[in-house]
């Protein structure tokens, strides 16, 4: 009886190995990527461990490991061909890097820049191919969106727009009570309403090509960072906008993906810019607020802090890589968490009960920009 049971267990292991190996091999042949061979090593290493250490229970463990690993395999990609993509916020950061990367792949790139004739636009003109077109594009101004639309439509000459990458964004960092309403409005206007304006204007061109919409969010859109209310609220709006739009576009053949970067250093998070905005806010606070919060202590902390960007990566290629996947994968993901700590924060927000999360949140706050109340004597 035991020999039959052992044979059955061995048969289960063999079946999983054959199915997983065949699936990986098929991906390997179609992707032509040597990186896929590492997934085969995971299969080879986990099989004896599960078989000899876990016995019958190991079948389930091995099956789960195989499914998880398979989920991380690159999916087959579409050819770039003559696909055109529009990217907002290309003056710097993710937008600038993505415009250069997609241009190098052969896309016809339309790079929207906030500052006409600025440093970022000039770098794109000088360093990219003749297929890239720069446009002045402030996503809060409908007239600039309309003007860019007419230019793009003319250059497309009857074909559709394959991709829209909504990247333009700004920061807003300070306590809710201290944050002026106009800052909430400004951050929301750029980060969320800006994406909505772009989507509503360009959806007809996207539908024509059954293309892709890629919205840059943040892990802050799903994790309540203390001291970053305006930014978190705006990115949470982008998350929900994307989820609703993805359902609405399914029958029209348009894919919608969310990119959730974490801990990358771009101009949006430069300490000098945030400090300037932050100090202007504190100067305008009324006397009652100043008595409640320890403003002077906060100023001292900011003066002695040299860098707020510790732990942030300057390599933006992981983000440009997932944007490429969202645009070209035959089966794009709905979400792409990418970067240090981002996935951990999202997991905490989704799985840890509020009563526990509220106790650990101070450890994850944007401490440099969180103004603490005065201690009651």
Q: Could you tell me the residue ranges of all domains in the chain?
A: 2-71, 84-369
C-alpha neighbours within 13 Å on the C-beta side of residue 286? 3
Q: Report the pLDDT value the prediction gives residue 47, as an integer from 0 to 100.
A: 60
CA-to-CA distance for 80 and 102, rounded, in angstroms?
9
CA-to-CA distance for 352 and 156, rounded, in angstroms?
48
Query: Under a CB-based contact definition with an 8 Å cutoff, are residues 324 and 102 in contact?
Result: yes
**Tokens 């905005």 — which residue?**
277
CA-to-CA distance for 175 and 376, rounded, in angstroms?
19
Q: Report the pLDDT value the prediction gives residue 372, as an integer from 0 to 100.
A: 78
Q: What are phi and psi of 135, to 5 degrees?
A: -135, 140
- Segment 114-123 shows an average pLDDT of 94
Q: Is the pLDDT of residue 33 over 50?
A: no
- What's the mean per-residue pLDDT of the chain? 82
Residue 175 vs residue 120, higher pLDDT: 120
Helix (H, G, I), strand (E, B) or coil at 329: strand
CA-to-CA distance for 194 and 192, rounded, in angstroms?
5
Q: Which residues are catalytic?
A: 231
Q: Is the pLDDT of residue 26 over 80?
A: no
Task: Tell me the torsion sign for CA atoms 196, 197, 200, 201.
Answer: negative
**Tokens 């190995």 — which residue?**
17
Q: Is the pLDDT of residue 83 over 60?
A: yes
Residue 76 vs residue 55, higher pLDDT: 76
- Segment 77-82 shows an average pLDDT of 91
Residue 185 vs residue 265, higher pLDDT: 185
Q: Is the pLDDT of residue 303 over 70?
A: no
Q: Is the pLDDT of residue 76 over 80?
A: no
Domain 84-369 fold is Rossmann fold (3.40.50)
Q: Report the pLDDT value the prediction gives residue 268, as an integer from 0 to 100.
A: 65
Helices 229-249 and 194-209 meet at what angle, rounded to 10? 20
DSSP character at residue 174: B
Q: How far is CA 128 from CA 88, 120, 121, 137, 155, in A?
A: 17, 12, 11, 19, 18
Least confident of 144-153, 197-206, 215-224: 215-224
CA-to-CA distance for 216 and 167, rounded, in angstroms?
5
Q: Is the pLDDT of residue 320 over 80?
A: yes
- What does the longest C-alpha to C-alpha distance in the chain come to? 83
- How far is Cα of residue 83 from the mean position of the Cα atoms in its chain? 22
CA-to-CA distance for 85 and 79, rounded, in angstroms?
14
Q: Is the pLDDT of residue 32 over 50?
A: no
Q: Is the pLDDT of residue 86 over 60?
A: yes
């Amino acid at each position: 009886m035991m020999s039959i049971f052992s044979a059955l267990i061995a048969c289960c292991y063999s079946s999983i190995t054959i199915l997983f190996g065949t699936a990986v091999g098929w991906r390997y042949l179609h992707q032509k990527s040597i990186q896929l061979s590492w997934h085969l090593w995971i299969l080879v290493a986990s099989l004896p461990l599960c078989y000899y250490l876990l016995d019958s229970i190991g079948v389930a463990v091995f099956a789960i490991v195989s499914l998880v690993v398979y989920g991380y395999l690159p999916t087959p990609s579409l050819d770039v061909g003559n696909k055109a993509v529009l990217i907002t916020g290309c003056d710097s950061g993710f937008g600038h890097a993505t415009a250069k990367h997609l241009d190098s792949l052969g896309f016809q790139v339309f790079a929207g820049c906030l500052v006409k004739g600025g440093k970022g636009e000039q770098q794109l003109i000088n360093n990219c191919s003749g297929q890239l077109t720069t446009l002045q594009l402030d996503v809060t101004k409908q007239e600039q969106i309309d003007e860019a639309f007419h230019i793009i439509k003319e250059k497309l000459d009857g074909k559709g727009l394959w991709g829209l990458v909504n990247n333009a964004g700004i920061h807003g960092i300070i306590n809710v009570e201290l944050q002026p309403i106009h800052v909430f409005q400004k951050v929301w206007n750029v980060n969320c309403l800006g994406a909505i304006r772009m989507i509503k204007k360009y959806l007809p061109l996207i539908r024509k090509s059954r293309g892709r919409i890629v919205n840059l969010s943040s892990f802050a859109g799903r994790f309540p960072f203390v001291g970053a209310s305006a930014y978190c609220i705006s990115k949470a709006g982008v998350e929900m906008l994307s989820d609703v739009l993805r359902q609405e576009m399914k029958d029209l053949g348009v894919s919608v993906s969310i990119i959730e970067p974490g801990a990358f250093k771009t101009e949006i998070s430069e300490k000098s810019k945030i400090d300037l905005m932050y100090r202007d806010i504190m100067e305008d606070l009324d006397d009652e607020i100043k008595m409640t919060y320890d403003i002077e202590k906060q100023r001292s902390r900011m003066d002695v802090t040299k860098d707020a960007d510790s732990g942030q990566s300057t390599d933006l290629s992981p983000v440009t890589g997932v944007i490429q996947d969202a645009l070209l994968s035959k089966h794009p993901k709905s979400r792409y968490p990418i970067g240090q700590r981002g996935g951990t924060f999202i997991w905490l927000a989704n799985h840890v009960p509020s009563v526990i999360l509220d106790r650990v949140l101070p450890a994850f706050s944007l401490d440099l920009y969180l103004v603490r109340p005065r201690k009651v004597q």
